[in-house]
Amino acid sequence: MPRQERERRYIAEYLKEQYPKGNWQLNVELGRIPSEYVQRYGMTKAAALFRPTRPRVDAVIWEPGAYTLVEAKLRDIKAGIGDLLYYKAVLPETPDLPYYEGQPYRLRLVVPWMIEWIKQVSDAAGVEVVVYWQEWIADYVRERLDYFTADWRAKRAEVMKMREILGVE
């Protein structure tokens, strides 16, 4: 079974529902582009050449009064807060933010449920948390719980053995 990009689906569904008119972009590169690249190739080509080394925020939303960096987490919500704080630190040296015109920026974490200590830490860090639920998330949670069972491990071992026998990667 191919890998399912659940967090990409999750953030895309959130943005389509909450911002149906647009003014957002997914998977936005942040951080500096070395000036020697820009001088030699120009901004567009330098950004393309340097793309693999730049961190990416899940989405940005631009509005007249604010520019919002959005990170979505289905698991490991704590990491989302750290990611956003890192993105905030590299934001001032990002020369190619789409539609950024000097607006104040906000940090937003989109999660399927809230845990009290996450709320406390996010408030202290200046990160807005939005709880956004989709029904397919319940299936994903059940699947994750099954992942650690003996039955699932045995089934996975059987699949891996068949792949080895058939020479399939």
Confidence at 3, pLDDT banded by 50, 70, 90:
low
Task: Tell whether 91 is covered by a domain.
Answer: yes
Asked, for residue 1, whether it belongs to a domain, the answer is no
Question: In the chain, count of helices (H) and strands (E)?
Answer: 7, 5
Q: Are residues 110 and 164 in the same domain?
A: no
Domain co-membership, 52 together with 105: yes
Note whether residue 122 is domain-resident: yes
On whether both 88 and 128 belong to a single domain, the answer is yes
Note whether 118 and 150 are same-domain residues.
no
Strand partners, 28: 57
Q: Are residues 164 and 121 part of one domain?
A: no
CATH number for position 19 = 3.40.1350.10
> Is 76 strand, coil or helix?
coil
Residues 11-35 have a mean pLDDT of 95
Looking at the structure, tell me whether residues 62 and 98 fall in a common domain. Answer: yes
Q: How many domains does the chain have?
A: 2
Task: Read off the pLDDT of residues 28-68 as tens digits, 9 standing for 90 and up.
Answer: 999 999 999 999 999 999 999 989 899 999 999 999 899 99
Q: Residue 17 domain-assigned?
A: yes
Say if residue 71 is in the same domain as residue 144. Answer: no
Spatial distance between the Cα atoms of 135 and 133, rounded to a whole number of angstroms: 7
Mean pLDDT calculated for residue range 63-91: 94
pLDDT in tens, 89-131: 999 999 999 999 899 999 999 999 898 999 999 999 999 999 9
The C-alpha torsion from 9 through 70 and 92 to 38, rounded to 10°, is 10
Domain co-membership, 61 together with 111: yes
Query: In terms of domains, do 149 and 85 share one?
Result: no
Closest residue by Cα to residue 68 from 80, 83, 84: 84
Same domain, 100 and 148: no
The count of residues in the chain is 169
Residue 23, pLDDT above cutoff 60: yes
Give pTM, 2 decimals.
Answer: 0.81
143 located within any domain: yes
Q: Which domain holds residue 140?
A: 135-169
Q: What percent of the chain has pLDDT over 90?
A: 60
140 and 128 fall within a common domain: no
155, part of any domain: yes
